[in-house]
Amino acid sequence: MAQVLRGDRGGRRAGGRGGEVRLKLLLSMLWLVRDNPAPVLTAPSRAWASLLGLDDPTGRGSRRINDAISWLEDGGFLIKDTTGDRVIQLLNETGNRQPYELPGAAIRRLPPRDPRRTDHLYLQLPSGLWTNGWLSLLSGAAVAMLLLLYRLQADNPEGTLLWFGGQDAKLRFDLSDDTRSKGLRELTMAGLVNVERKAVDPASFEPERVRNVYALQRDRLNKPARILNDYQYSDWWEAAAAATT
């Protein structure tokens, strides 16, 4: 995920808004083949641009899609055939240039104690991320942090308050502090995440320390996409802070 967002290639980082398009495009392709054992997609660039909500889908939007597809091909995520209609064959989503296999099928194929099963564990994101306009509305940083929180939630019982520090984001997920803070703030403004302030080790006799903990609001993806503006967010944050004190 971090590699796609930053655009790591040949020791250089492309980053920028191109990283946002790459990440959203790859997620969308994986979503479209989620029940299809043949990971082949046929769609013009303007259709992908429209799906992602890019401006000028028949012009600049299509060029941004073409740039993203070229990067993903160079990175080992897909193979493209530009003869006639654009045909794209997805490869393994890790970018290892191996054939794509539906994760569920791969897990069923391997013996129960086979350590390779962990390579095929996957997250199932709600279709509302696409059908309700969330993917086109959210920034690349917010999408990355949403994936991270879904990943953390998968390791914990439903309803668990999630926590991670800047070092966790860097070491476990290779995401920068800027991506973490920007993405979490946007998710909070969108109502996709609730944030609370919790004491760290409240039984300790040391001076009280607090940290932010997060609760995913999964049902919010089933509603039309909307992000609060700064004034609405300020009012919401003050009300939320008052409710937790």
Domain edges within the chain: 2-118, 128-243
CATH architecture of the region 2-118: Orthogonal Bundle (1.10)
Q: Average pLDDT of the chain?
A: 81
CA distances from 108 to 33, 93, 104, 120, 217 (A): 18, 18, 6, 10, 30
Taking the C-alpha atoms of residue 22 and residue 95, their distance in angstroms, rounded to an integer, is 13
128-243 shares the fold of 2-118 = yes
Q: What confidence score (pLDDT) does residue 71 get?
A: 94
1: pLDDT confidence band, cut at 50, 70 and 90? low
Q: What confidence score (pLDDT) does residue 243 get?
A: 46
Going by C-alpha positions, the residue among 82, 102, 104, 81 that lies closest to residue 92 is: 102
Taking the C-alpha atoms of residue 234 and residue 230, their distance in angstroms, rounded to an integer, is 6
The tokens describing 97, both together, are: 């240039």
Q: What confidence score (pLDDT) does residue 240 get?
A: 46
How do residues 161-180 score in pLDDT, each as one tens digit?
887 766 666 666 778 888 88
Q: Which listed CATH number (3.30.910, 2.30.30, 1.20.140, 1.10.10) goes with 128-243?
A: 1.10.10
Q: Is residue 24 within 8 Å of 81, Cβ to Cβ?
A: no
Compute the average pLDDT of residues 178-194. 91
- Rounded to two decimals, the pTM is 0.81
Compute the average pLDDT of residues 229-236. 51
115: pLDDT confidence band, cut at 50, 70 and 90? confident
